[in-house]
Amino acid sequence: MRRTRKRSTRAKRAVAASVALILGAGGLVAFNVYASAGEGWGDRPPPPDRVNAVSTIDCPDAAEELTDVRESARDSVDRELATLDSQITAAYQRFADEKERVERDPAFAEDQILAPLRDERLPVLQRIGQAVGSPLGGLAPCTLRADDEPSGGGRGEPGQGEPGQGDPGQGEPDQGEPDQGEPDQGQAGNGPEAADFVDIRSVPPNVNLPRQRRGGSRGSFVTDCGRNQNGKFNSDNVIVAPGVSNGAHHMHDYVGNQANDAFADDDDLARGRTTCRNQGDRSTYYWPVLRLQNGQAEDDAGADGGGKDQNVGKIQTPAQVTLNFVGSPVSRVTAMPRFLRIITGDAKAFTNGDANANASWSCTGFENRQLKDKYPICPEGSKVVRTFRFQSCWDGRNTDSANHRTHVAFADPTSGRCGQGFRAIPQLVQRIVYDVPPGPGFAVDSFPEQLHKPVTDHGDFINVFDQRLMRRVVDCVNSGRRCS
């Protein structure tokens, strides 16, 4: 099993931070800000305003280590990974309940939160390591980190950002942000913060798409699957955590296939009803719900994935959902295999770093300005827009992979070409529009420790087009027609 150099550095940093914790007060800076270890603090005490700046639990993501897991072991490995997520969720709740004491006494945090979490994680990681033939116990230690502290920073392979979007949402806007005040923290009180929002008018245009070249596929195919008006929600994730209830620890909107839950297999999806107008499309499309944090409770306020997992507020039904399959700027596309699974974005990007973050945020009338790590504040009359551009290159063999990423890839953002060994497939571009009040006060659902950060937004897709309709999609895209 191959392990990336960047991830190994991340794991060593986590271990070093935990060792610093065990040393007591001398390890305080590592306790508060793991990224500072070995980066300039030396033996100096941290500034007073940083001592208590701890906001969440940061654990190495074992899933990103798994590039080669034999097919027969994948289900058990996925269940073990889901156990790690549940352990972090429980530890985060202990942290949140005792945050004031944690900030006063780092020894308490080590003894009562981090050490027990490490001990719980270790046997799970050892079992995963045995299944994949590689030791993973070094990923057991976790740290506490500040809300505004850099995460692991760019972990993973390069080139996984949103194609053709430059570097949206990075850096400061070119004008001052308006004073919008603190958004309502909701019942959970774990985000988002005012700093997670920016006036879209202060963001410079930043969308740069690859140039269309001769031989490119200029057509498109739109499938209409509704807006989840029927209210299909669950906190499962059949791709990442099959067979595990509440595997996502946050609620998803679903359109398309109505058989999707944690226990659905390919046969269930093939037989499932669909909300898509064209019944040949039984694909499943899902994403974290967006909630208005106005103090109004949703029906799931006491349920897994909802209030029990720090996701509170009124779920917003999208005003519009567009599912568009487009071509490659440089080549023809080939058909997607049935039951191909694709995840775009990273639900843990706040702690993992933004290497796989890909969803973007904007406002109607301003969609040449895309944000990755901020929510937009839209002017009066403009609506919030979430856009997901899914990976458009396929390895030609696999419908899934151990980390649910390496069987697909993004085209090069400059040239638009797929990498060696990959072929272009129709690219799903998912656009979701919401009519919410202007200003802060909304957020996507997330794992509790991810603090509802916009950078954690993500989308999931399982292709269940029948062969006849998929051939039509490919023909429309390659011939330059616009079809539906």
The domain of 124 spans 5-145
Q: Residue 35 has what pLDDT? A: 30
Return the higher-pLDDT residue of 11 and 79.
79
* 3-state class (DSSP) for residue 455: helix
Same domain (yes/no): 221, 108: no
* Share above pLDDT 70 across residues of the chain, in percent, rounded to a whole number: 81
Provide the pLDDT confidence category of residue 438 given band limits of 50, 70 and 90.
confident
CB-neighbour burial class of residue 433 (10 A; exposed 0-12, middle 13-18, buried 19+): middle
Same structural domain, 348 and 428: yes
- pLDDT of 41 reads 27
Give the pLDDT score at 106.
85
**The pair of three-digit structure tokens given for residue 356, joined into one six-digit string:** 């796989």
DSSP letter at 114 equals: I
Angle of helix 115-132 versus helix 74-97 axis, rounded to 10: 170
Q: Which of 84, 89, 70, 76 is nearest to 119 (CA)?
A: 84
Phi, psi of 281 (to 5 degrees): -105, 100
CA distances from 176 to 183, 198, 202, 420, 458 (A): 18, 9, 7, 44, 28
Confidence label for 80 from pLDDT (cuts 50, 70 and 90): very high
The pLDDT of residue 329 is above 60:
yes
Residue at which a domain ends, from 145, 160, 181: 145
**For the residues 191-209, what does the mean pLDDT come to?**
94
Six-digit token string for 109: 């945090």
Predicted pLDDT at 436? 95
Q: Are residues 214 and 138 in the same domain?
A: no
Q: How far is Cα 145 from Cα 458, in angstroms, rounded to an integer?
A: 23
Q: What is the pLDDT of residue 396?
A: 97
Q: pLDDT tens digit string along 14-73? A: 433 333 333 333 332 222 222 322 222 233 334 444 445 689 999 999 998 888 898 889
- Predicted local distance difference test score (pLDDT) of residue 42: 30
Residue 279 scores a pLDDT above 60? yes
Give me 248's structure tokens: 């996502």
For residues 396-419, average pLDDT: 95
**H helices within 230-343, ranges in order?**
266-271
**Residue 171, in any domain of the structure:** no
Contact 296, 316 (CB under 8 A): no
pLDDT band of residue 238 (cuts 50, 70, 90) is very high
Whether residue 20 lies inside any domain: the answer is yes
Three-class SS of 337-356? CCCCEEEEECCCHHHHCHHH
Token pair of 41 as six digits: 């603090």
Total number of domains constituting the chain: 2
45: DSSP letter: P
425, 394 Cβ separation under 8 angstroms: yes
CA triple 206-210-211, angle to 5 deg: 120
Judge whether 27 and 94 are in contact, CB under 8 Å. Answer: no
From 358, 320, 361, 374, select the one nearest 460 (Cα to Cα).
Answer: 358
Residue 161 forms part of a structural domain: no
Phi/psi for 42 (5° steps) reads 55, -135
**Domain co-membership, 416 together with 476:** yes
Mean pLDDT of the chain: 84
Using CA atoms, how far apart are residues 152 and 91, in angstroms rounded to an integer? 20
Residue 167 domain flag: no
Name the residue with tokens 């802060």: 440
Residue pair 369/206 in contact (Cβ under 8 Å)? The answer is: yes
Same domain, 101 and 229: no
State whether 209 and 131 are in the same domain: no
Residues 114, 240: one domain?
no
Q: What is the pLDDT of residue 325?
A: 98
d(CA 206, CA 425): 25
The residue among 121, 145, 169 that closes a domain is 145
Is there a single domain that holds both residue 217 and residue 140?
no
Mean pLDDT of 3-23: 37
User: How far is the C-alpha of 77 from the C-alpha of 80, rounded, in Å?
Assistant: 5
Tens digits of per-residue pLDDT, 300-327? 999 999 999 999 999 999 999 999 999 9
Q: Provide the sign of the torsion angle of the four alpha carbons 268, 271, 272, 278, taken in this order.
A: positive
Name the 3-class secondary structure at 83: helix
Specify the 3-state DSSP secondary structure of 427: strand
Angle at 431 between CA 428 and CA 434, to 5 degrees: 160
In a shared domain, residues 103 and 235: no
Residues ≥6 apart with Cβ < 8 Å to 102:
54, 95, 108, 109, 113, 144
Residue 456 has pLDDT above 50, yes or no: yes
Residue 188, pLDDT score: 52
78 pLDDT more than 90:
yes
Q: Say if residue 89 is in the same domain as residue 235.
A: no
Same domain, 265 and 399: yes
Residue 334 falls inside a structural domain: yes
Which of 119, 145, 171 is the endpoint of a domain?
145
Over the range 62-79, which residues count as b (16 or more CB within 10 Å of their CB) and which as e? bbbbbbebeeebbeebbb
Other C-beta atoms closer than 10 Å to the C-beta of 264 total 20
Distance CA 121, CA 118 (A): 5
Residue 154, domain member (yes or no)? no
Residue 351 lies in a domain: yes
Q: In this structure, is residue 158 part of a structural domain?
A: no
Q: What is the pLDDT of residues 138-192, one digit of tens each?
A: 999 999 998 877 665 433 333 333 434 444 444 344 444 444 444 444 435 688 9
Of 273, 281, 275, 249, nearest to 262 (Cα)?
249
Poorest-pLDDT segment among 71-75, 186-190, 228-232, 372-376 = 186-190
- Say if residue 128 is in the same domain as residue 223: no
Determine what percent of the chain is predicted with pLDDT higher than 90.
Answer: 73
Paired residues of 384 in beta bridges? 363, 434
